[in-house]
Amino acid sequence: MTRALLLIDIQNGFCPGGNLPVADGDAVVAIANRVIEKGGYDLVVASQDWHPANHGSFASQHPGKKPFDMGVLSGQPQVMWPDHCIQGTPDAEFHPDLDTARIDYVQRKGENPAVDSYSAFRDNDKAAITGLSDYLKSKGVTELDLMGLATDYCVHFSALDAVDMLPGAKIRLIADGCRGIDPKGVEEALAAMAHAGVEIIDSTRIGI
């Protein structure tokens, strides 16, 4: 049994004061640190939203669009986001209080301006994968716990891809270690993850 923890996008950009803040997003940092310390994981991995300044998910790249309008990217409906997590800026850094010393592998994503990548495992159009599934398979990961930001976007699609791309592995969502953008979206995401076979747990179950 090889147990891994996947921390999704615990970055300044998704915390209060960031460019795409998730309400109470910074509340997940203390939970992440406790889970890292007490969880007894063999591996800790983290994803990092890492966009070029001209990323096609940014409303700023689409004349007439405002942040949170709908548009199209790579042939799919796409939320037009405010500019966020631009490579090399403080907005893209991990939250300063996150215990990054324990992170074994960082998966950057969203680098191709022509497609968004909510999932840490592959682009939204599923055409290109990141290195994360190969990395976790090379380590023989049989259990993956995940948590982070945002529940209804990057956590949601990372969890579904984990089920799909790590066949046979047990996937668990640490629900209290996540915060979302839209309450209705969070509810739907939790239902979709549970339906896909993701076990929904509470961080208080970790390390006791």
As annotated, the active-site residues are: 9, 109, 154
Among 18, 31, 49, 160, contact with Zn ion (rule: CB under 5 A): 49
Tell me the site size for Zn ion, rule CB under 5 A. 2
Binding at 80: pick from Zn ion, ligand VGL, none (beta carbon under 5-8 Å per type):
none
Does residue 152 bind Zn ion (CB under 5 A)?
Answer: no
C-alpha dihedral (22, 28, 29, 34), degrees to nearest 10? 180
Of residues 41 and 153, the one with the C-beta less far from ligand VGL:
153
Q: Which residues bind ligand VGL (CB under 6 A)?
A: 9, 14, 49, 81, 118, 149-150, 153-154
Neighbours of 143 (CB within 10 A): 17
Distance of CA 9 to the CA centre of its chain: 5
Residues between 65 and 104 with contacts to Zn ion, criterion CB under 5 A: none
Alpha-carbon span 120 to 180, nearest angstrom: 17
Binding at 98: pick from Zn ion, ligand VGL, none (beta carbon under 5-8 Å per type):
none
What is the nearest approach in angstroms of Zn ion to the Cβ of residue 85? Answer: 5
What is the nearest approach in angstroms of ligand VGL to the Cβ of residue 40? Answer: 26
Neighbours of 111 (CB within 10 A): 15
Of residues 70 and 208, the one with the C-beta less far from ligand VGL:
70
Of residues 169 and 178, the one with the C-beta less far from ligand VGL:
178
Of residues 9 and 145, the one with the C-beta less far from ligand VGL:
9
What is the nearest approach in angstroms of ligand VGL to the Cβ of residue 20? Answer: 6
Write down how long the chain is: 208
What is the nearest approach in angstroms of ligand VGL to the Cβ of residue 79? Answer: 7
Q: Which region holds residue 75: left if phi is over 0, alpha if psi is between -120 and 50, else beta?
A: left
Alpha-carbon span 5 to 22, nearest angstrom: 21
Answer for the pair 47, 104: CB distance below 8 angstroms, yes or no: no
Binding at 9: pick from Zn ion, ligand VGL, none (beta carbon under 5-8 Å per type):
ligand VGL
Q: Can you read off the two tokens belonging to residue 39?
A: 């969880």
Answer for the pair 84, 181: CB distance below 8 angstroms, yes or no: no
What is the nearest approach in angstroms of Zn ion to the Cβ of residue 151? Answer: 15
Alpha-carbon span 78 to 8, nearest angstrom: 20
Binding footprint of Zn ion on the chain (CB under 5 A): 49, 110
